[in-house]
Amino acid sequence: MNALALHDLPSVAFTRSGVKFCPADEVWSFQDAVTPGHFDFLVLRDRVMPAPMQGLKAALTWLLQNRAVATALNAYSCFKHFLVSTGRTKDQPIREITQFDLISYRSMLTKQQGNRLLMLAVLLKKWHSLGLRGVSDDAVGFLKGLRMKKPDVGVPVLTMCPKQGPLTQLEDEAFQDGLNTAFARGELSEVAFFACWITRALGQRPCQTAALKVCDLVVEARPDGSHEYLLKVPRAKQRDAIHPRSSLKVRPLIQQLGAPLHAYARRVQRILEGRLGDASQAPMFPDRNDALTDGPFSGHMTARQMGILIKAASRKIKAHSERTGRPLHVTPSRLRRTVGTRAAEEGHGELVVAEILDHTNVASARYYVQAVPSIVARIDAAMAHSMAPLARAFQGMSPKRYDSEKHDSSSLILDLRVDQSGQSMGQCKGTGSCTFLAPVSCYTCRSFRPWLDGPHQSVLDDLIARRDQQLSRNGLRMASVNDRTLVAVAEVIQICASARGEISHG
């Protein structure tokens, strides 16, 4: 193999999307769409000899020119990890990577770190194929002979992992309710609120959300006077796409999300008018710390910033898991997997699930369809009582005894279909009119105060009976609509029993 001379590195190169960088520099730093690229070779200088350093730069240059920036960043990170793990120092720098180095490195990796060797192999094989010094023939032979198993991305879905897998129906409802409440209380910004909501609604990746512009939300008038809301979502992980906005997919939004999102987008546009050449190209979720320029992604958050924003917002949401009894751990990946799981539960096949999640490989959607039979289809009274302390679905006020002289009869909650004696379940402490169906909607409402001796058991029995009927007639999705309310009623029964000094059911 021929040594690569310093002058063989081009003075200027371009990423696949056309962003310029200088391969001969010691630090590469640039912004490629919503992904920042930063490669610091100064920190490697004492651990890598000049000749292999040139080979490393050339291989990374090729990856940047032909693959996504994230791929090159991942390869660079794995190479740094390899150097540290194998003890490379100023006194023992890399001259050539051999199979013995790779065998040693492999033995140090945990099961969770297996993907590092897989990514390192991509870099080293390309490095060697370019005819550059630094990677021995036996090292490449060793890598080619390895049977490296790719991460099984379907495991979190198939196992319904409580940390990485899709949210259950109850967890999903708890997240949505907590999201709305946190925003109403002023605990979330508009940016965080809408970013979380459309991620939950559409299951898109952070890079797609970060690349959205206000012009991507289109409103079309219908003949009946109503409006249709369409969001043009930038596509990601498409082989031929040079950046997230090179291809857009139109996704419909329900009016309850589309209308407020449209009002929010118009506010963002008005704020940025005069600061951008064309305010319609303003980012839908602007980075307030970014100085605006004329670039196509000026003012946009990075994909990493968007992911951090959604995770941080989720930690402010007061929602618990009925599986763990702990606050919900929510990430963009979990919300995405939830969208795929709900689609499969509704009876959609692999092609439709793949279309919803914008998968290029239909096989990736197979896990969602396979996971459906494992979902629990029945909730009875005993299960509701066991889940109640964990889910914490009841959101109302502490129970009190009913006093006809103290409480306004117009605010009482009762339903003769549930309890023919006419006894009320509790009192609505809200202000203004409520359009939701009582008493089903009351037990998860913060304005509801249940009575200690209210007919809560009758409400629970009625909900379970209705659930069983729906399950036999219309399937799981329709039957599970009121599952969170069902668990909330069971929790109220337990709270009231405890307050009366009794032993709760279950």
Give the list of residues 6+ apart from residue 244 with CB closer than 8 angstroms, or none.
Answer: 33, 34, 207, 208, 210, 211, 234, 235, 236
285: helix, strand or coil: coil
Residues 6 or more apart in contact with residue 254 via CB below 8 angstroms: 201, 229
CA–CA distance, 131 with 489 (Å, rounded to integer) = 70
64, two tokens = 């940047």
Residues 109, 163: Cα–Cα separation, whole Å: 23
Give the per-residue pLDDT at 3: 42
Residue 5 pLDDT:
44
pLDDT score recorded for residue 302: 93
pLDDT tens, residue by residue, 425-467:
999 988 767 778 889 999 999 999 999 999 999 999 999 999 9
Query: Is residue 228 within 8 Å of 220, Cβ to Cβ?
Result: yes
Rounded distance between C-alpha atoms, residue 454 and residue 413, angstroms: 10
State both tokens at 186: 């002023």
For residues 249 and 233, the answer to whether their CB atoms sit within 8 Å is yes
| DSSP conformational letter for 400 | B
Check if the beta carbon of residue 165 is closer than 8 Å to that of residue 334: yes
C-alpha–C-alpha distance, residues 327 and 308, integer Å: 18
Answer for the pair 54, 4: CB distance below 8 angstroms, yes or no. yes
pLDDT at 52: 95
| Predicted local confidence at residue 38, as pLDDT | 96
Measured distance CA(244)–CA(212) in Å, rounded: 9
In DSSP terms, which residues pair with 38 in a beta bridge?
29
Sheet with 448-450, strands from edge to edge, namely: 412-413, 426-428, 448-450
Length of the chain: 506
**CA 384 → CA 124, 279, 480, distances in Å?**
55, 52, 13
Measure CA of the first residue to CA of the last residue in the chain; give whole Å: 74
**DSSP, residue by residue, 204-247:** --HHHHHT-BGGGEEEEE-TTS-EEEEEEEEP-S-TT-SSGGGS
The per-residue pLDDT for 6 is 42
pLDDT tens sequence across 379-398: 778 888 999 998 999 999 99
- Return the SS3 of 320: strand
Range 497-500 contact pairs with CB under 8 angstroms and sequence separation of 24 or more: 499/399, 499/452, 500/452
Q: Residues in the chain with pLDDT < 70?
A: 1-7, 149-152, 237-244, 290-291, 294, 373-378, 432, 502-506
| Domain 155-374 superfamily per CATH | Intergrase catalytic core (1.10.443.10)
Token pair belonging to 400: 């009190």
214 vs 216: CA distance, rounded Å: 5
β-sheet bridge partners, residue 428: 448
- Provide the pLDDT for residue 238: 61
Per-domain residue ranges for the chain?
6-145, 155-374, 381-499
Neighbouring CB atoms inside 10 A of 424's CB total 20
Using CA atoms, how far residue 138 sits from 95, 97, 102, 358, in Å, is 15, 9, 10, 40
For residue 318, the model assigns a pLDDT of: 85
Asked if 140 contacts 321 with a C-beta cutoff of 8 angstroms, the reply is no
Which pLDDT score, from 0 to 100, does residue 494 have?
A: 96
- The sheet with strand 217-221 has its strands ordered as 217-221, 227-234, 248-253
Whole-angstrom Cα Rg for the chain: 28
